[in-house]
C-alpha cells in the first residue's frame, strides 16, 4: 500500500497517446487524472514562449527550421500533431478532432489551461539550453508567471533545467519559485551539486535511478526532495516509491494513476 501518493506529472502531456506539447496532449493528461503538467519552453524570434522540446522542427512539424529563428505566426501555420499518427487520414472510423488541439502551444495558453481547470494543476517548466537567447528565456518566463500571480511563494509552478546557471537566473528574479536541477547521469549530478542550493529539488533520469539507487538514497538522506523522469512502467514506479521519490514524470499518466490507485487500495 502506498502511504504517500507521489505526484503524477504528465511528460509533455499524455505524450504516449497524443502528439507531445500540443493542447490535446495536455487536456488528455488532465482528464486522465494527472496532478501536474511538464513542458519544455523555447523563445521565438519575436519573443513568444512556446512549448517545444527540440531546437529544430524536423521531428514534430516536418520542417528543417529552427524555433528560435521563427516568429509565432509562422509556427502557428504548422501541424505539430500528424507525425504522431501519420495514417490517421486513411482511417474512416477515426473520430474528428479539433485542429487547434494539434497546433503549436504557447506557454501562455498552457498556463491559462491550468488556471481554468476545475482543480489545482501544477506545472513543471523546463527551460531549454543552450539557446541563442540565453537568459532572456528565463526573464520572459518570470514575467509571464508574474502576470498570472505565479512567481511567488506557493505558486503551482516549478522551473527545471539541466543548466544550473539558468536556475540561478530564476532564483535571482523570483526567489520563491521552486527549482529542479535535472541530471541524466550520476556524473552530471555531481558536477552540478557544488553550484546548487540545499532547497533545490534533484531531478534524476530513470536510468540513474535504476543503475545508481545508492546515489538517490544518499540524496534523499541529505533531506533533498527528488523528482524523476521518465517513469513509464510499473517496475519503474515501484523503484521510485522504494526510494521516496515524490514526483513521477511520465508519458503515460493514465497508467500511472491506475497503478498507484491499485496500490493505494
Q: What is the pLDDT of residues 45-57, one digit of tens each?
A: 999 999 999 999 9
**What whole-number distance in Å separates Cα of residue 7 and Cα of residue 229?**
12
Q: What is the model's pLDDT at position 91?
A: 52
CATH of the domain at 69: 3.20.20.190
**What whole-number distance in Å separates Cα of residue 36 and Cα of residue 85?**
25
- Asked whether residue 83 is assigned to any structural domain, the reply reads yes
**What whole-number distance in Å separates Cα of residue 121 and Cα of residue 7?**
11
Q: What is the model's pLDDT at position 93?
A: 53
Q: What is the model's pLDDT at position 85?
A: 76
- Asked whether residue 171 is assigned to any structural domain, the reply reads yes
Determine phi and psi for 174, rounding to 5 degrees. Answer: -145, 80
Q: What is the model's pLDDT at position 87?
A: 55
Q: Is the pLDDT of residue 70 over 70?
A: yes
Residues known to be catalytic: 11, 53
Q: What is the model's pLDDT at position 90?
A: 44
Q: What is the dihedral of CA 148, 127, 83, 44, to 10 degrees?
A: 70
- Asked whether residue 2 is assigned to any structural domain, the reply reads no
**What whole-number distance in Å separates Cα of residue 52 and Cα of residue 64?**
14
- Asked whether residue 211 is assigned to any structural domain, the reply reads yes
Q: How many structural domains comprise the chain?
A: 1
> Residue 113 belongs to what H/E stretch?
helix 107-116
**What whole-number distance in Å separates Cα of residue 90 and Cα of residue 21?**
24
Q: What is the model's pLDDT at position 86?
A: 66
- Asked whether residue 252 is assigned to any structural domain, the reply reads yes
Give the residue from 55, 42, 66, 54 showing the smallest Cα distance to 136: 42
Question: Across residues 134-163, what is the average pLDDT?
Answer: 97
Q: Is the pLDDT of residue 80 over 90?
A: yes
Q: What is the model's pLDDT at position 239?
A: 98
- Asked whether residue 224 is assigned to any structural domain, the reply reads yes
- Asked whether residue 149 is assigned to any structural domain, the reply reads yes
Q: What is the model's pLDDT at position 130?
A: 87
Across 31-40, 59-68, 77-86, least confident range? 77-86
Specify whether the CB–CB gap between 130 and 43 falls below 8 A: no
- Asked whether residue 1 is assigned to any structural domain, the reply reads no
Q: Is the pLDDT of residue 164 over 50?
A: yes
CA 242 to chain centre: 23
CA 110 to chain centre: 12
Amino acid at each position: 500500500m502506498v502511504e504517500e501518493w507521489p505526484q503524477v506529472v504528465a511528460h509533455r502531456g499524455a505524450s504516449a497517446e497524443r502528439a507531445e506539447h500540443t493542447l490535446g496532449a495536455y487536456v488528455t493528461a488532465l482528464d486522465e487524472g494527472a496532478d501536474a503538467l511538464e513542458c519544455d519552453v523555447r523563445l521565438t524570434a519575436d519573443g513568444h514562449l512556446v512549448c517545444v522540446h527540440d531546437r529544430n522542427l524536423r521531428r514534430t512539424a516536418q520542417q528543417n527550421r529552427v524555433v528560435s529563428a521563427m516568429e509565432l505566426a509562422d509556427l502557428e501555420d504548422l501541424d505539430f500533431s500528424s507525425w504522431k499518427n501519420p495514417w490517421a487520414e486513411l482511417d474512416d472510423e477515426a473520430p474528428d478532432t479539433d485542429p487547434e488541439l494539434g497546433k503549436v502551444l504557447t506557454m501562455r495558453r498552457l498556463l491559462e489551461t491550468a488556471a481554468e481547470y476545475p482543480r489545482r494543476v501544477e506545472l513543471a517548466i523546463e527551460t531549454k539550453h543552450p539557446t541563442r537567447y540565453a537568459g532572456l528565456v528565463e526573464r520572459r518566463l518570470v514575467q509571464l508567471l508574474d502576470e498570472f500571480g505565479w512567481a511567488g511563494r506557493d505558486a503551482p509552478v516549478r522551473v527545471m533545467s539541466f543548466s544550473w546557471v539558468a536556475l540561478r537566473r530564476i532564483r535571482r528574479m523570483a526567489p520563491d519559485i521552486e527549482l529542479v536541477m535535472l541530471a541524466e547521469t550520476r556524473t552530471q549530478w555531481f558536477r552540478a551539486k557544488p553550484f546548487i542550493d540545499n532547497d533545490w529539488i534533484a531531478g534524476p533520469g530513470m536510468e540513474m535511478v535504476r543503475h545508481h539507487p545508492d546515489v538517490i538514497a544518499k540524496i534523499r538522506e541529505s533531506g533533498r526532495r527528488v523528482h524523476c523522469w521518465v517513469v513509464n512502467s510499473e517496475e519503474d514506479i515501484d523503484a521510485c516509491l522504494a526510494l521516496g521519490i515524490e514526483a513521477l514524470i511520465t508519458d503515460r499518466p493514465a497508467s500511472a494513476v491506475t497503478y498507484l490507485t491499485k496500490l493505494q487500495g
